[in-house]
Structure 1
Amino acid sequence: MTATVQPTLDGTTPPAPVDYETWLAAVWPHFIAAAASGRTFTCYSIADTNQLPDPPNPRAHWGRLMHQLRDDGYTRPAGWTCSDRPTTRHSGVRTWKGTAAAQREAAA
């Protein structure tokens, strides 16, 4: 039995759901470039600037991405700031900065 996709009210078909690995492959290069730049950034600033798609589970996967970047040695926590995401009412968010290794990798 095949599942059918319900069209939206305007008649268009919604995009197919994407899994975490597919989403990660699409957004990873943007965060690697941000880490290599040496500037301090928030997760939202990179996502908004590059108009990145939301992951399958936005409440968990954005954080998972940032921790994966840290665990892989590309970023380190840099501090805190007020979020500029419109829906957060300026709550505190972590800022990130690329490691020296990430910057050297970009220069190579």
Structure 2
Amino acid sequence: MTTPVQPALDGSIPEQRKTQTQQRTEDYETWLEIVWPRFIAAAATGRTFTCYEIADLHNLPAPPNPQAHWGRLMTLLKDEGYVRTAGWACTNRPTAHHSGVRTWKGTAAARRAAA
């Protein structure tokens, strides 16, 4: 589904600005190398966060399959002991209409990994 573009007052169609978050990495392993350190650093802070907050804060690229790979990333981080589930919150992702999303909190292992 594409987002409709609002024409300018003179009738011209402006070029769509493409942010890094809108860009997609072509292979999963490359994407994982880019985003992994950012999520480890977020976990090391000990604060509660959502996946989108970290991606938006650091302008991280989207994975090849966004519907599956963001969740897989968080599962890997949890399995490695870097994060634990902290609860639920309403997302601030503009396209999600304040849907409920899982929140995460870093562990002591994440603080050690960042040190």
* Kept in 1: contact 2:50–2:104 (CA 8 A): yes
- Number of the residue aligned with 1:48: 56
What TM-score results when the alignment is normalised by the length of structure 2? 0.77
What TM-score results when the alignment is normalised by the length of structure 1? 0.81
After TM superposition, the structure 1 = structure 2 runs for residues 1-108 of structure 1, keeping only pairs within 5 Å, are 18-107=26-115
Alignment root-mean-square deviation, CA: 1.7
Q: 4+ residue runs of structure 1 moved beyond 3 angstroms?
A: none
Relative to 1, partners in 2 of residues 1:24 and 1:47: Cα closer, same or farther, differing over 3 Å? Answer: same
Task: Give percent identity, aligned residues only.
Answer: 70
Unaligned runs of 5+ in 1: 1-9
**Number of matched residues?**
94
